[in-house]
Structure 1
């Protein structure tokens, strides 16, 4: 088949920017053509955080649902203009949206994302594929992580020797192979970002420089590592519902630390929880992707904790999630199942996402 053009949009748990990519895709390759990052307005981020905390009204959630879609549409239209792309040449946009709440277990499991796909389609005049998690949850799965299926596709030629770790707001691990394994290891950047925003006013700790000025509090780190999530067997997934500012506050109240020492301890928590999972699998290479792969100090700590594993940074590491959205849109447009049941625990693989024209 001939390659088709798809746009992928991803803002992620950290809400530190909006990634937009154009990919040329067929059944064998997802080729990145163009990529841009656009700013995420602090006011909208605050509205979303208030909604996630439940400190808002249904009407306000509805408004944010549309406001976010308009922001995505503006980013896409700017992207199209910048690269002189005719919207008619784009088969579809894959949009994850912003997760409001992810609760895949319980009597009425669900995963809810904001960023109205109908508004996005109307304002870009391009079909939109969205709501990727709902079908998997409906079939008894966690609905997350989605990344392992894309990692399996990307690294199919070397799948038996590598592990892939995506460090976004949350971190997830993929073990490609005949039986695909993948799950969230725990917090990636989210706790470090929250602490940094509160104590420095910066949206994130660039290269882990601030964390590098602090010292690990091992007593506190041990307490953090007792979090039930870390000992749960896979399949499992997590998000801001668990790892948030309130989670940090529980520990900050127990141990009065310098703010940089807490940042250093949170960075070590991310590194240790990732490496604990990597060591469970006999892999020679760990490929890092996501925004956390740009945190040089975090990468140094991961390398130090697993000296017998070759740690490398993926090509286009910080754009892989947006590329995945484009690929998921391709799969949905062609009514192809996504190989995720072994990852999420769903009863069967499903065709994920809805199409909005």
Structure 2
């Protein structure tokens, strides 16, 4: 079964896509990654999304409009992918309601009916809320893929995704958001106008700046870091308003310090877990300054790009949602209660039918491992 995974993450810069051809053989799910790519949001749409996110205010009329516009953007991205049997669309998170260590609700928008109408295939969407209703965090959902993908690796491996928010998975044990990855770095670049791209290209700004140890100590006092996992966070906490008291600092120094904040908070979590191999993915994995700081903080830990396990670093989350779609369509849970904190594993999402009657495949046995390969020219 060919499944297209779609997601726009907490950086809300565009739509990541991955087409994966799945086949279950003897307890091992084999996924052949046929295509990956990113479709940037139209600048005007991205600006509207940013304006609607915390700490900004919005209206139900704007939420309705964004639900449609993002759904249409996702449908356009899906239409440019190779033909598939089904789609799993994460949509765009606009609010993740957390109080203390308890997730109370979550909202992803981007109406999936636009995708189903455009492609004529079933679309799995709204995948986080079922885990929350069972007492979980609704995140990090990539922990299911991480656990299957890292199955059989020697020692004490873990997976790290450096998106807007950084999350760590200890396979089959625990998963949680450690804190910001690119969220505050990008916010600092945007607020200071340090680079027209809106992010620290190749980590050059962070490399040029000087880490302000006093500011780093102040940032590390954030209470979130002392909460026990499983826990989740997002732009509701780590938004550009979070930086308001620090905007008088020289931009490169601020960006260097925020990069060090990400490295330190990730390293603290990894050290506490006794990890010896860290499989790294996400946009932050392309920031050599951040990766270098991580290496400095974790001298005894081997850093491995997720590409070496068949998951291109910029597409791993899209692959994860393709996997969730495959699981849901086969009637299988795609969560691990130990990782999300839920009372039990749950089949995720809702299904929007494509053209004609909805026909689901027979229920399959749950895979025990995942092996990914990448088609030539796909990544």
SS of 2:315's partner is helix
Q: 2:58 aligns with which of 32, 56, 59?
A: 56
CA deviation after TM superposition for structure 1 residue 109, in Å: 1.7
User: Is 1:79 matched up with 2:81?
Assistant: yes
Question: Which deviations, in whole Å up to 9, do the C-alpha atoms of 1:307-333 show, x marking residues without a partner?
Answer: 111112110111100000100000000
User: Is 1:14 matched up with 2:14?
Assistant: no
1:338 & 1:301 partners in 2: Cα distance? 33
2:306 & 2:230 partners in 1: Cα distance? 24
Question: Which deviations, in whole Å up to 9, do the C-alpha atoms of 1:147-180 show, x marking residues without a partner?
Answer: 1111011111216531110000100001114xx2
Q: 1:187 aligns with which of 144, 168, 180?
A: 180
2:39 & 2:277 partners in 1: Cα distance? 32
CA contact (8 A) 2:136 2:343 kept: yes
| Aligned residue in 2 for 1:340 | 336
Q: 2:274 aligns with which of 278, 282, 290?
A: 282
CA deviation after TM superposition for structure 1 residue 66, in Å: 0.6
Q: C-alpha root-mean-square deviation of aligned residues, in Å?
A: 1.6
SS of 2:331's partner is coil
TM-score, with structure 1 as normaliser: 0.92
2:243 & 2:159 partners in 1: Cα distance? 27
CA contact (8 A) 2:184 2:239 kept: yes
Q: 1:323 aligns with which of 319, 322, 347?
A: 319
CA contact (8 A) 1:161 1:285 kept: yes
Q: 1:298 aligns with which of 284, 290, 295?
A: 290
1:46 & 1:159 partners in 2: Cα distance? 45
CA contact (8 A) 2:189 2:255 kept: yes
1:339 & 1:160 partners in 2: Cα distance? 23
CA deviation after TM superposition for structure 1 residue 236, in Å: 0.2
CA contact (8 A) 2:141 2:335 kept: no
SS of 2:5's partner is strand
| Aligned residue in 1 for 2:197 | 202
| Aligned residue in 2 for 1:224 | 219
Bigger RCO of structures 1 and 2 (CA < 8 A, at least 6 apart): 2
Alignment CA distance shift 1:43-1:288 (3 Å): same
Q: 1:5 aligns with which of 2, 8, 12?
A: 2
1:31 & 1:160 partners in 2: Cα distance? 26
2:103 & 2:225 partners in 1: Cα distance? 24
1:332 & 1:105 partners in 2: Cα distance? 29
2:245 & 2:350 partners in 1: Cα distance? 39
CA contact (8 A) 2:98 2:233 kept: no
1:137 & 1:105 partners in 2: Cα distance? 13
| Aligned residue in 1 for 2:363 | none
| Aligned residue in 1 for 2:23 | 26
1:343 & 1:311 partners in 2: Cα distance? 22
Q: Greater shift after overlay, 191-200 or 56-65?
A: 191-200
CA deviation after TM superposition for structure 1 residue 26, in Å: 2.9
CA contact (8 A) 1:104 1:141 kept: no
CA deviation after TM superposition for structure 1 residue 104, in Å: 4.2
Q: 2:68 aligns with which of 59, 66, 69?
A: 66
How many pairs are equivalent? 341
Equivalent residues in 2 for 1:265-280, closer than 5 Å: 265-280=257-272
1:338 & 1:20 partners in 2: Cα distance? 19
| Aligned residue in 2 for 1:352 | 348
CA contact (8 A) 1:104 1:143 kept: no
| Aligned residue in 2 for 1:215 | 210
| Aligned residue in 2 for 1:119 | 114
2:57 & 2:164 partners in 1: Cα distance? 21
CA deviation after TM superposition for structure 1 residue 268, in Å: 0.5
Structure 1 residue ranges, 4+ long, deviating more than 2 angstroms after superposition: 53-56, 104-108
TM-score, with structure 2 as normaliser: 0.87
CA deviation after TM superposition for structure 1 residue 348, in Å: 1.0
Question: Which deviations, in whole Å up to 9, do the C-alpha atoms of 1:196-232 show, x marking residues without a partner?
Answer: 1222332211111011111011111101001000010
Unaligned runs of 5+ in 1: none
1:101 & 1:20 partners in 2: Cα distance? 22
Higher helix proportion (structure 1 or 2): 1
| Aligned residue in 2 for 1:98 | 92
